Homo-oligomer: A and B are copies of this chain.
Amino acid sequence: MTSVFEVIAEPNRRAILSLLVGTEQSVGEIERHLRLPQPAVSKHLRVLRDAGFVEATVDAQRRVYRLTPKPLEEVDAWLEQFRQFWSAHIDALERHLDRMDRSPRTKKRPRRKP
Identity of the chain B residue whose Cβ is nearest the Cβ of A24 in the assembled complex: B96
Within 8 A of B (CB), among A1-19: 2-3, 5-6, 8-9, 11, 14, 17-18
Q: Size band of the A side of the interface?
A: 20 to 34
**A42 smallest CB distance to B (angstroms):** 18
Identity of the chain B residue whose Cβ is nearest the Cβ of A78 in the assembled complex: B14
Given contacts A5-B9, A106-B59, A109-B59, contact A72 B67 (CB under 8 A): no
Indicate if A104 sits at the interface (CB-CB under 8 A): no
Interchain CB contact under 8 A, B69 and A82: yes
Q: Which B residues are CB-close (under 8 A) to A17?
A: 82
Provide the bound-state CA to CA distance between A75 and B112, in Å.
37
Given contacts A5-B5, A6-B9, contact A72 B82 (CB under 8 A): yes
Known: A21-B82, A28-B112, A67-B85. 20 other contacts (CB 8 A): A2-B11, A3-B9, A5-B14, A6-B9, A8-B9, A9-B9, A18-B81, A21-B81, A21-B85, A22-B85, A67-B82, A67-B86, A69-B82, A69-B85, A69-B86, A69-B89, A72-B82, A73-B86, A76-B83, A79-B79
